[in-house]
Amino acid sequence: MPHHIAIVEDEAALAANYRDALQRQGFRVSVHRDRQSASAAFLRQLPDLAIIDVGLGDDIEGGFELCRELRSLSPELPIVFLTARDSELDIISGLRLGADDYLTKNISQTHMLARIVALFRRVRALREPELREHVIAQGALTLNLERMTAQWAGQPVPLTVTEFWMVHTLARHPGHVKNRQQLMESANVVLDDNTITSHVKRIRRKFETLDATFSAIETAYGMGYRWRGD
């Protein structure tokens, strides 16, 4: 069965262009013009991936609100912002809300499709890992690669796909510093230094919500990050 992609875009011509490009690649596509119709559809059935514009008509922050709603429904659902808003504040806001990628509308269709295919590849790799070990345990952390779940001291940690890959990369080799380029490669995503930093901050906050003393992700200043080995 083909992957189902939901597009939330208020400009009908753009939405049709995205839909046609994705359908040519074999995806099943649904289109929603506003947050209300998208929210109602997602409550009935979640897509396999959501592409969301930030401004939806008069609802200038509608995409951000929709992302927040989706994350509450599914921590691991791949979410991509595709928007004309390209300020650093908007990009960081989108990633902090849990989006896996943030693209601007000047991106080519070829590049957009490549990023979407990469996201699906990451999901598939996590759910059907080629690694022999399906469970990684480091201290209080447990990662289940087959189920794509993370736990801290037995409590579930709601990581996105991108966040899961980053934690996996760090935790597999505790004490080893991973620079930002290595984290991007492991997550199969193209981000700049600021957005990598935002992802790491968000990951830390999720663990700190469960454990106020969490300090397993250390910053190696000028180099990158490492998972502290006990």
**pLDDT per position as a tens digit, 176-198:** 999 888 887 776 665 666 778 88
Distance CA 51, CA 82 (A): 6
Q: What pLDDT sits at residue 230?
A: 63
At 168, list the tokens: 């996996």
Distances (CA, A) of 78 to 30, 49, 70, 190: 15, 5, 10, 15
Q: What residue has token string 């601007």?
A: 104
* CB neighbourhood size of 211 (10 A): 14
- 133 pLDDT higher than 80: no
Phi, psi for 68 (deg, rounded to 5): -60, -45
Q: Specify the amino acid at residue 120.
A: F
Residues 111-124, mean pLDDT to the nearest whole number: 84
Distance CA 67, CA 128 (A): 26
Residues 145-167, mean pLDDT to the nearest whole number: 87
- 224 pLDDT higher than 60: yes
> Structure pTM?
0.64
What's the pLDDT tens digit per position in 196-207?
888 899 999 999
Residues 6+ apart with CB under 8 A from 110: none
Residue 162's pLDDT band (cuts 50, 70, 90): confident
51 beta partners? 7, 80
Q: What pLDDT sits at residue 122?
A: 74
Taking the C-alpha atoms of 158, 162, 163 and 168 in order, what is their torsion angle to the nearest 10 degrees? Answer: 110
Q: What residue has token string 């409590």?
A: 155
What's the pLDDT tens digit per position in 164-177?
989 998 998 899 99
Residue 132's pLDDT band (cuts 50, 70, 90): very low
Query: Looking at beta carbons, which pairs linking 164-170 to residues 24 or more positions away fall under 8 Å?
Result: 164/76, 164/126, 165/122, 165/126, 166/199, 166/200, 166/203, 167/141, 167/143, 167/203, 168/136, 168/143, 170/217, 170/225, 170/226, 170/227
Q: What pLDDT sits at residue 67?
A: 95
Residues 136-143, mean pLDDT to the nearest whole number: 90
Distance CA 168, CA 73 (A): 23
Which of the pair, 120 or 29, is modelled with greater confidence?
29
What's the pLDDT tens digit per position in 56-105?
989 999 999 999 999 999 988 999 999 999 898 898 888 888 898 899 99
Which of the pair, 205 or 134, is modelled with greater confidence?
205
Q: What pLDDT sits at residue 130?
A: 45
